[in-house]
Amino acid sequence: MKNRFTLKSAMQVSLLVALCALSSISETFAQEEKQFNFSVALNSDQFFGFYPTFQGSYGFSEKTALTFYGIHWGGGTGANWGNWTEFGLGANFEPTEGLSINPQIGVLSGSLLSSGAAGGPSVFGEGIVPNLTVNLLKEKVEGQFYFGYYAPLRDEAPTAQGSTYSYIHYWLSLGYRPSEFFSFGAHFEHLINSGGSNIESSTDLYQWLGPYVQFSKPGGGPFARFSFGTDLVEGNDSFFKLTTGFSF
């Protein structure tokens, strides 16, 4: 009887330990799901064409998180730039509720920066892009500021007349949220060819200004935004930009 009781007790203790372990693992997974965020966006405009993007984060605290992102430029006109691809890492900080500051640094692969897509090889690490994104999301106000500098790391220009390229890309949007479902506002975006190994002066490629409308699922999830308006660069006419995204 004593041996049976001991065996039974051991089985009960083992079962209790297993249940506690499963509960702990389940709680850990639940916490990790809260800490991890991921979103995908499909973008289209008349300059870059079609280019999917993704971004993710893993929170270490309520105010800080590791971030990563990628841009499949090769999905649009980037296919002519050696299947241009951008991937980067950074950190996100939330100094106050509704405001986040996200510095990141990306690595570029392809042929645009290293040879101006003028016949040079498509290479890994052709350039680097330090960038900063600031997001604002309040009950009635939303906004975003982005600034990125695209700098070449390699010179693969095939001839003496060839050149590397560098770019400055930034935008600012600010909008009003009558509800969680609908928002509207203004969008300004500027892309500059800032020079290269054989380029002395900078050139404005586009300078867009116009309104946007956005529809979002309340509480997070899918959204769709359409921006349109004028192009302030002489010789250009107008712009249009469509984005739809999903958060997981």
Query: Please, are residues 241 and 224 in contact by the beta-carbon 8 Å criterion?
Result: no
Examine residue 92 and state whether it is found in any structural domain, yes or no: yes
- Backbone phi and psi for residue 19, each to the nearest 5 degrees, phi listed first: -65, -40
Examine residue 6 and state whether it is found in any structural domain, yes or no: no
Examine residue 137 and state whether it is found in any structural domain, yes or no: yes
Range of the domain at 140: 34-247
CA distance 180 to 218: 5
CA distance 40 to 52: 7
Examine residue 149 and state whether it is found in any structural domain, yes or no: yes
pLDDT of res. 161:
79
Q: How do strand 203-216 and strand 223-231 relate by DSSP bridges?
A: antiparallel
Examine residue 50 and state whether it is found in any structural domain, yes or no: yes
- Backbone phi and psi for residue 17, each to the nearest 5 degrees, phi listed first: -65, -40
Note the pLDDT tens digit of each residue in 184-233. Answer: 999 999 999 999 998 888 999 999 999 999 999 998 899 999 999 999 99
Examine residue 147 and state whether it is found in any structural domain, yes or no: yes
Note the pLDDT tens digit of each residue in 34-47. Answer: 699 999 999 999 99
Examine residue 54 and state whether it is found in any structural domain, yes or no: yes
Examine residue 28 and state whether it is found in any structural domain, yes or no: no
pLDDT of res. 11:
47
CA distance 164 to 128: 13
Give the other-Cβ count within 10 Å of 33's Cβ: 10
Tell me how many domains the chain contains: 1
CATH number at residue 57: 2.40.160.40
List all residues 6 or more positions away from 202 whose beta carbon is below 8 Å from its beta carbon.
192, 193, 194, 195
CA distance 156 to 110: 11
In which residue are the tokens 């570029």 written? 108
pLDDT of res. 186:
98
